[in-house]
Amino acid sequence: MPDYRERRAGEPGRRPEPVARDGSPRRELAYWLRGAVEDHGGATLDRILRALPDEARLSRSALGKALRGDTFGDLALVLGVLRAVGADEAELEAWRSYWASLDDLESRRRRGEQVVAPEPPWAGAGPPGPDEPRPDEPTAAASGPPADPSVDPAGRPRRSWLLVGVGLLLGCALTLAALAFSRGVTSAAATEGPAGATIITPATTTVPRTFRVAGSSHDLPPGTLLWATTFDPGTGRFFPQDKPCVTRADGTFDCGQYYLGVQDAPDTATYRIDVFVADAGASNALLQYQIDKGGPDGPNPGIATLPTGTSTIFTRSYTRF
C-alpha cells in the first residue's frame, strides 16, 4: 500500500508541518493535535479550513501556526480541527479536559513561571521512542493480510475514545472528591471571615463572546467547591459552568474558558456572572445537570435557581461587544 504522501498526492493544499516538541504547552497541544489529524487520515490545511465552523474561522497562516505550536490554539480552534477530521464526541470530551490543563499551564508560563506540559491521558506508555513513528510522521503500511482493526499500522492498540472519556470523567470525579475532602477536614477555625471572591480577568466589563474568567478568593468554607455561572436577566435563568473552578493555595482561582450568553443573542447583550461556593450535594447536582443535558455541547436550557447548598460570594454584570 502506498504511504500517506502518495495517498494524498492528488489533493490540493499541504499538510501541516511536523512539530518540534520542547515541553511547552503550545508545542504539546500542537503535537498531539497533529497526531489526532493523522489518526483521522491526515487532512491538509485547506481541507481543515473548509470544514471549520464559523466561530473557529481563521486564516490559513494562523491555522498553520497553531498546528506547528508557534501559537497556543484556543478551544474553539482545537474542537473545530477535530470535528473537521471526523472526531467523535468521546474524543472531543477527552480533548476538552486536556486542553483545559494545557491552557492553565500556558497562562502560568505567560506570567513567567517555569512549566512542563504533560502528555495526554491517552498517550499510554509515553512519547514514541527513537525507532517508533511519531504521530506527525507518516508510515508505510506493509502488504499482507487485512489489518487488524484493533491496532494501528505501527502495531499499537488503537485508542478507545469512549474509554478515554470515561477515564477522564472518573479522574475528574476523584480529583473533586479529594479537593472536597481536603477542605472538609480543615478546621473551621481556619476560616477567619466570610467567604469572598473577585474576578480579576477579564479586567473590563465589556467582553467578547468567549474569554477567560480568573481571580482571587479567600475564606472558602471547608468542604465546598468554587463555581461560576451566567445569569441571563432576559430569561431569569442560570447557566452554570460545566465544572468547578480551579482554586490554588495562593488564593487565586481559574474558571477556564467562558462563553457568555447564547449564540444568537445580540452582541450588546448584558449578562451577570456569579461566583459561588457549593457544598458536596450542590456540586453533585450541578454535575448531574451537565450529564442530563448531554455535556458541554448539549442543549442548555439553564436552571431557574441554583441548588440548595450554594452561596453567591461575588457578582458582576458584563456586556458583550
Domains of the chain: 4-122 (no CATH), 190-320 (2.60.40)
- Which residue in 88, 73, 85, 90 sits closest to 42, CA to CA? 85
When pLDDT is cut at 50, 70 and 90, the band that residue 282 belongs to is very high
Helix, strand, or coil here: 242? Answer: coil
**CA-based nearest residue to 188, from 227, 226, 224, 225:** 224
Q: By three-state DSSP, how is residue 164 classified? A: helix
What residue type is 42 in one-letter code? G
pLDDT of residue 55: 55
Query: Which residues are CB-contacts of 321 (< 8 A; sequence separation ≥ 6)?
Result: 206, 207, 208, 267, 268
* Count of CB atoms situated within 10 Å of the CB of 134: 18
**Are 119 and 126 within 8 A, CB to CB?**
yes
The owner of cell 506547528 is 68
∠ CA 14-118-174, nearest 5°, is 125
Cα 237 from Cα 162, distance rounded (Å): 32
Q: How far apart are CA 271 and CA 260, in angstroms?
A: 7
pLDDT at 153 over 70: no
Q: Can you give the pLDDT at residue 108? A: 80
Q: Are 39 and 159 in contact (CB under 8 A)?
A: yes
Q: What does the block give as the cell for 196?
A: 469572598
Q: Which three cell numbers stand for residue 16?
A: 501541516
Strands (E), the chain: 196-201, 206-207, 210-218, 225-232, 237-240, 246-247, 252-259, 270-278, 310-320
User: How many other CB atoms are found less than 10 A from the CB of residue 252?
Assistant: 14
Whole-number pLDDT of residue 274:
95
12/99 Cα distance (integer angstroms):
30
Please state the rounded mean pLDDT for residues 139-155.
42
What is the tens place of the pLDDT at every residue in 55-108? 556 677 777 888 888 888 888 778 888 888 888 888 888 888 888 888 888 878
Distance between the two ends of the chain, CA-based, in angstroms?
A: 52
Q: How confident is the model at residue 56, as a pLDDT?
A: 57
Q: Is the pLDDT of residue 247 over 70?
A: yes
- Position 133 confidence tier, pLDDT thresholds 50, 70, 90: very low
Which tens digit of pLDDT belongs to each residue from 197-230? 999 988 888 888 788 899 999 999 998 999 999 9
95 within 8 A of 73, measured Cβ to Cβ: no
Q: Which is more confidently placed, 150 or 83?
A: 83
The pLDDT of 260-267, averaged and rounded, is 63
* Structure-derived torsion over alpha carbons of residues 235, 275, 94, 39, reported in degrees to the nearest 10: 80
The predicted pLDDT at position 175 comes to 47
Residue 192 burial by Cβ neighbours in a 10 Å radius (0-12, 13-18, 19+): exposed
Percent of the chain with pLDDT over 70: 68
CA–CA dist 287, 238 (Å, integer): 14
